Chains A and B, each alone.
Chain A
Amino acid sequence: MIGVEQFYWAYLIIWAGIVLYVLYLTQRQSKITKEIKLLKEVIDGGRD
């Protein structure tokens, strides 16, 4: 059937793109959360 290959590639690329973006967001959130934790520790440590 004509176009089967293109359909599977398109399907794969669409969801790969979305999953990669989700991974990017997750990685960014985790980095920011660590930074917030560190800053809070520094602030609390300074007070002590």
Chain B
Amino acid sequence: MERRKLIDIVLVILAVVFVSATTLAAFYYAPLEPVDVLTVVEHESDYTGDDVRVKGVVHDLSGQDLSLWDISSPDPGITINVTYSGEGDLSTLASDGDTVYVVGRYDPDDGFSAKEVEIADDPDEPAGWTSPYSAKIFYFHVPAAWTSFLAFGVVLGCSIAYLLKGGQKWDIWALSSAEVGLMFNTVAVISGALWAKAEWGYYWDWNDAKLFSTFVLWLIFIAYVAIRSGAVRHESIPRVAAIFGVLGFAAVPISFISSRIWTSLHPNVVASSTGHLSSEAGTVLMLGVLAFTFVYATLFSRRTAIERSVMEIQDLKEKLEEEE
């Protein structure tokens, strides 16, 4: 069997196996809430150590204790008991049904010990991860985004190689990777918007640095693919596209770090000191990343095969013209 066909078959098998495993794990194994949200919503701290601030709705207030439900942490949608040890009478600080912030320490065994209780200025302001089931989108959204970054990284590498060494192979690889990467980026943007609707109450916010920078990245690679679509035919197109691919890649690190340095509700749970994944969530995420990487490799291989066939057509046409 031809080596290339064998690689294609292996890639398809790996993609199908890992996609199935990710689906089963995301549906039946992954925890509803993959992130330790206290560290996402609040300052950088371990929630069992330093003081943290938790948003919740007062469910039951009696004496100096209260119960919060629909809290932002540690498990949204559940109720936790809070022991208040701060100054003043708790009944003058909060009432049943109030949306409040409590500041204190959380211990998985002893519960939450609050030193401060304050009424939230804006009860509708998103508290963080409030939609536990939708958080499962995480296991597909993050791998899709990462795969698009990988694909655009391949565009960068191949574009540099093309500019330095020339050669049709690098151009074909860059073009194929850009198209497949754009598809994954589109999937990440749409799934992210659906998740945003569940968590934040809206699909999109143009003032959010992460969302805006990702949109710019998406536009850049739409432009790249449009340049290569064949609408404009000129021998300098591969070179122009290679320069565009190198410059366009700059949007990838900007998109990645945007939520870390500018205003964004988008959480930083991967490669971040403020987000912690449970081991179950981490396992499912890794499965998802592998699954999407194999899907990417499969599609990349198919896409390059098409481009090779296009080259073959051009060669045949030239041959035909020569013979005529």
Q: Residues of A at under 8 Å CB distance from B? A: 1-4, 6-7, 9-11, 13-14, 17-18, 21-22, 25, 28-29, 32-33, 35-36, 39-40, 42-43, 46-47
Chain A to chain B contacts (Cβ below 8 Å), 13 pairs: A3-B133, A10-B137, A10-B195, A14-B140, A17-B187, A18-B187, A25-B299, A25-B302, A29-B309, A32-B306, A39-B313, A43-B319, A46-B320
With known contacts A2-B133, A2-B198, A6-B194, A29–B313 Cβ distance under 8 A: no
Q: Are B313 and A36 in contact (CB under 8 A)?
A: yes
Q: How far is the CB of B127 from chain A (nearest CB, A)?
A: 13
Q: Residues of B at under 8 Å CB distance from A? A: 23, 32, 77, 130-137, 140-141, 144, 180, 183, 186-187, 190-191, 194-195, 197-199, 295, 299, 302-303, 305-306, 309-310, 312-313, 316-317, 319-320, 323-324
Other-chain residue from B131, B135, B140, B183 in contact with A11 (beta carbon distance below 8 A): B140
Q: Are A6 and B323 in contact (CB under 8 A)?
A: no
Q: Are B137 and A7 in contact (CB under 8 A)?
A: yes
Q: Are B313 and A32 in contact (CB under 8 A)?
A: yes
CA distance A21 to B183 in the complex (A): 8
Beyond the given A10-B141, A14-B187, please list 15 additional residue pairs across the A-B interface where CB-CB is below 8 A: A1-B77, A3-B198, A6-B194, A7-B133, A7-B198, A9-B194, A10-B137, A10-B194, A13-B187, A13-B191, A25-B302, A25-B306, A32-B310, A33-B309, A46-B324
Q: Are A6 and B299 in contact (CB under 8 A)?
A: no
Q: How far is the CB of A15 from chain B (nearest CB, A)?
A: 8
> Chain B binding site: helix, strand, loop or mixed by DSSP?
helix
Most chain B beta-carbon neighbours within 10 Å: one of A4, A7, A36, A39: A7
Other-chain residue from B132, B137, B299, B323 in contact with A43 (beta carbon distance below 8 A): B323
